[in-house]
Amino acid sequence: SLVAYIRTLLKNDAPPIVFTEEMDKKRPKFDVTMPENINFSALAMNEGLAEEGRRLVDHVYGCLGCHRIGDKGGEIGPELNRAGFRAKPDWLYRWIKNPRAIKPKTKMPVLGITDEHAVAITAYLATLRGGTGGKKEAAAANAKRSEN
């Protein structure tokens, strides 16, 4: 199914891959269990954990291939500049662990992220609370410049 997902990202002449209902039933379903020893409301305060999450987002899981943070990243997924403002940390954690448990038809793949890495990524995303130069901010700045 990873190949099918990648084919949706690029224009090509390959025939579409059709998943039958039977194939969909055979796919593993993963429930997301929340770690009991995590204080999600205090995650953004843990600078070391947030920095580890930033490293994971930038260099390990390839999140910037689809998502934009500041002036870096892709345009397939939503910008994450305000992820900490828009979503609660416990929801972010569940989404990172298994986005299809929340939204079955999402384009975001289940990456098999460990609990520890998901907590670190959640801590990092919880720190992103405002505009940091994403494409929307750049478009607004360009429009303002052209007015002058």
Per-residue pLDDT tens digits for 69-104: 999 999 999 999 999 889 988 899 999 999 988 888
Q: Are 108 and 74 in contact (CB under 8 A)?
A: no
Amino acid 126: pLDDT:
92
Q: Mean pLDDT throughout 11-23?
A: 68
Q: Is the pTM of this model over 0.85?
A: no
pLDDT band at 39 (very low <50, low <70, confident <90, very high): confident
Amino acid 43: pLDDT:
73
Amino acid 49: pLDDT:
92
Cβ partners under 8 Å of residue 79, min gap 6: 67, 68, 69, 73, 134, 135, 136
Q: Is the dihedral of CA 44, 47, 48, 50 positive or negative?
A: positive
**Strand locations in 85-126 (E):** none
User: What mean pLDDT is reported for the chain?
Assistant: 79
Cβ partners under 8 Å of residue 115, min gap 6: 35, 97
Q: Mean pLDDT throughout 38-52?
A: 82
Half-sphere exposure of 96 (CA within 13 A, CB side): 31
